[in-house]
Amino acid sequence: AQSVSQHNHHVILSEAASLELGCNYSYGGTVNLFWYVQYPGQHLQLLLKYFSGDPLVKGIKGFEAEFIKSKFSFNLRKPSVQWSDTAEYFCAVFDYKLSFGAGTTVTVRA
């Protein structure tokens, strides 16, 4: 079964700092990769996705992620965070079902 691990449980940073969240998955075959975001008290929303092609994908709100096949990784980045980026971030992998990592809580201090 597919497993997804997110390296950071809780990240605290100041506005304008850069953010990188690590994600690794276990399956070596073809997978679709995602980052979902859950703002406080809200439902999950798609941040970005990778199916194939350019391994550097851009999502909403200035986020991007890089797929590195040899490392089974799909790390999320944002060069300069804002207070409104405070949220729970979930990496997810789809083979026949969507499996989520445990999530990373990101707190951005003004």
Partner 1 sequence: DTAVSQTPKYLVTQMGNDKSIKCEQNLGHDTMYWYKQDSKKFLKIMFSYNNKELIINETVPNRFSPKSPDKAHLNLHINSLELGDSAVYFCASSQDGPTGELFFGEGSRLTVL
Nearer to partner 1, 2 or 16 (CB): 2
Nearer to partner 1, 19 or 92 (CB): 92
Write the DSSP assignment of 8-56 as a string of letters: -SEEEEETT--EEE-EEE---S--EEEEEEE-TTS-EEEEEEE-SS-SE
Nearer to partner 1, 10 or 18 (CB): 10
Name the minimum Å distance from CB 104 to partner 1: 10
Name the minimum Å distance from CB 33 to partner 1: 8
Name the minimum Å distance from CB 101 to partner 1: 9
Give yes or no for a contact between 43 and 61, defined as CB atoms under 8 angstroms apart. Answer: no
